[in-house]
Amino acid sequence: MTYCVAMSLDEGLLFASDSRTNAGLDHVSTFSKMSIVERPGDRVIVLLNSGNLATTQSVVSRLGKMHAQAQPSGGLMGVDSMFDAARLVGEELRSVIRMQSGGGPDQSNVDFSAMFLVGGQIAGEMPRLFLVYPQGNCIETSADTPFFQIGESKYGKPIIDRVVGTNTALDEALKCALVSFDSTMRSNLSVGLPIDLAMVRRDALSVSFRHRIDSGDAYFGALRNGWSQGLRRVFNELPAPEWFKV
């Protein structure tokens, strides 16, 4: 399992993904779940993925091969809009799942499904963010729902629901995303460091910021401690119910 979150805000787009992949408690590996396609001044597209690792790696490889074989306008480099980018990812995802799931009876119990978050900006349109399902279809963020999560999302959703709106500043959204990761990592061992971060500011048409958080990151450590202490302090300040009598 993994955890990825992306937010579409007035200031731009924020992406965050963990890097843990496991096939049981005794087989834990680290693989980045973030891919970036960029032609500064023209387009920047960020992909986050969750699900079957063979499926997601195949999709990313196939998209890269399209670009390599049709320079300079193949694959995601050749689409005219972010919707077309999401649709292309969906087509490749559906094709890969169909191909792998038809491999024979020895693979009948393997779950080849996967999901992608596809966001970015292409010159001539606004920044956009899509969630691509295993069936190949997609949905886009809105003013009411400015963020998407994939993977082990339930533990980190409450803080984002309470804090993030389209007018949230990118630095505040980043802080909220990291608290969301902390909550998820505390409750589910299948999500873990390192965390990959990327930020795309509106109309920059390039990645504005990239960072990887590992176990030695001082800020993330301080954030985790501060959040835990703050929760305990607020909990202790809550009044006991008047109707409860021991």
Over residues 68-110, the pLDDT tens digits come to 776 667 899 999 999 999 999 999 999 999 999 875 555 667 8
Q: Which amino acid is at 47?
A: L
Using one digit for the tens of pLDDT, what is the confidence trace for 151-204? Answer: 999 999 999 999 999 999 999 999 999 999 999 999 998 899 999 999 999 999
Mean pLDDT of the chain: 93
pTM flag (> 0.85) = yes
pLDDT of residue 42: 97
Its CATH architecture, for the domain 3-237, is: 4-Layer Sandwich (3.60)
Domain edges within the chain:
3-237
**115 contact partners, CB below 8 Å, separation of at least 6:** 49, 50, 51, 131, 132, 133, 134, 150, 151
Neighbours of 223 (CB within 10 A): 17
pLDDT tens-digit readout, 16-66: 999 987 655 556 788 999 999 999 999 999 999 999 999 999 999 999 998
